[in-house]
Amino acid sequence: MRVPGFTSTGSKRPDALFGMGAPRGLPVRLARAAGAEVWDAEGRRYLDFIMGLGAVSLGYAHPVVTAAAVDAIEAGVVGPLAPESEERLAERLAGLMPWMERTRFLKTGAEAVAAAVRLARAHTGRDFVLRCGYHGWLDWSQAPGTPGVPAAISGLSAEIPFGDAERGRHAIRAAGDRLAAVVVEPVIERAPPAEWLQMLREETTRAGAVLVFDEIKTGFRVAPGGAVERWNCVPDLVVFGKALANGFALSAVGGRRDVMEQSRRTWISSTLATDLVGFAAAHATLDVLARDEVPAYLQRVGGRLVAGLAQLAAHHPTLFLGVAGIAEMSYLRPVTEETGARLARLAAERGLLWKRGAYNFVSLAHGEEQVDRALAILADCAAALRHA
């Protein structure tokens, strides 16, 4: 095996998908993907709800996005000058989300969140960061004791619990004038409580800290303006990735002009942050999102899925604790890790790729037929688990 750990994307490892000791014969290598289906290296076809770990909201190889990307490839991909499509995309985002007063682009979500943290530190002159959720693999967001991460770096951030307004308030006030930023995922296995969002906005303002929403998963999925629009809480900075370009590599950090202008003082730059393909894919994705009212569609079709999962969990209380997430991104909560792993294995054997943890995603390519087929497969798997 020339790639340590099997693959460069941790969540695509066989043991991440199917648990440790998964038997041979399960799908582990991708050959191609289209719509809501993928084919493995052996040519077997699967209905998929993992959707590139949430990077795809329109379906794989969406023709409009693909055509735009092909045109960008034929136009040269990269060049010595800043692309005109970069400024146009920043303008489009500001028109869609007025709080995106200024925007900078990168390639990955981890980069973009790290850029937000650097901007916050430059703006406040402070170092300490409170975080809630998963924000990538870079040093600033890793817990103390992570191999390879200096203790001096991991000690500059701490975790706060999702949805707990009282504990969050206490942590922010305890950090006091050391606090540069609070970085949160607005959805972690459930919708954000209104009082928690209100606390975050009030306390970061009082502390003079920067509030950052990590919308890598929720952006362009839960509403046209993301979680900010849906739950009516405007942070200082917002980070996007994944569905921004329907699977093509592009991320963005944007927000308040005075905070974003710190990018002139500090250094945030990457050669391929301005390749033509990502911008072309993003423009095409935004066209489809508006034309087909994709967030509303995802909520409808995802609601059908979540309702079916809730019925399945209620019918099998010895296997499942319930359903976690929201309509657009959800999963069954197994009673044990092994139950979740066995469910994912059985589903794959029946032609369904289903993530055993957070999250499974619906896309524009999923209709009622695909949702009902997935639910039927999962019901068959649950019955097999009970009998076993």
Q: With helix as H, strand as E and coil as C, how does 140-194 read?
A: HHCCCCCCCCCHHHHCCEEECCCCCHHHHHHHHHHHHHHEEEEEECCCCCCCCCH
pLDDT above 90 (res 1): no
**Whole-number pLDDT of residue 71:** 98
What is the β-pairing status of strands 179-184 and 352-353? Answer: unpaired
Contact criterion met (CB below 8 Å) for 72 and 99? no
Structure tokens at 40: 């493995």
Exposure string of 177-209, with b = 16+ CB inside 10 Å and e = fewer, is eebbbbbbbbbbbebbeeebbebbbebbeebeb
pLDDT above 90 (res 153): yes
Mean pLDDT of 108-119: 98
pLDDT above 90 (res 387): no
Q: What is the 3-state secondary structure (H, E, C) of 240-295?
A: ECHHHHCCCCCEEEEECHHHHHHHHCCCCCCHHHHCHHHHHHHHHHHHHHHHCCHH
How far apart CA 135 and CA 4 sit, in angstroms, is 22
Q: Residue 204's Cα: distance from chain center in Å?
A: 24
pLDDT in tens, 197-249: 999 999 999 999 999 999 999 999 999 999 999 999 999 999 999 999 999 99
Selection from 302, 66, 273 nearest residue 187 by Cα? 302
pLDDT above 90 covers a percentage of the chain that reads: 98
Q: Please provide the DSSP assignment of 341-369 as one string.
A: HHHHHHHHHTTEE--SSS-EE--TT--HH
Same topology between domain 10-61+293-387 and domain 75-291: no
Query: Which H or E element spans position 205?
Result: helix 194-207
- In CATH terms, 10-61+293-387 corresponds, of 3.40.50.300, 3.90.1150.10, 2.120.10.80, 3.90.400.10, to 3.90.1150.10
Mean pLDDT of 23-51: 97
Mean pLDDT of 179-183: 98
Q: What is the overall mean pLDDT for the chain? A: 97
pLDDT above 90 (res 135): yes
Structure tokens at 86: 């970069």
User: Could you tell me the fold of the domain covering 75-291?
Assistant: Aspartate Aminotransferase; domain 2 (3.40.640)
pLDDT above 90 (res 388): no
pLDDT in tens, 242-294: 999 999 999 999 999 999 999 999 999 999 999 999 999 999 999 999 999 99
DSSP state of 23: P
**Whole-number pLDDT of residue 64:** 98
pLDDT above 90 (res 90): yes
Query: Which H or E element spans position 333?
Result: strand 329-334
pLDDT in tens, 311-340: 999 999 999 999 999 999 999 999 999 999
Q: Which residue has the tokens 């054997």?
A: 349
pLDDT above 70 covers a percentage of the chain that reads: 100
Contact criterion met (CB below 8 Å) for 213 and 73? no
Break the chain into its structural domains and give their ranges.
10-61+293-387, 75-291
pTM of the model: 0.97
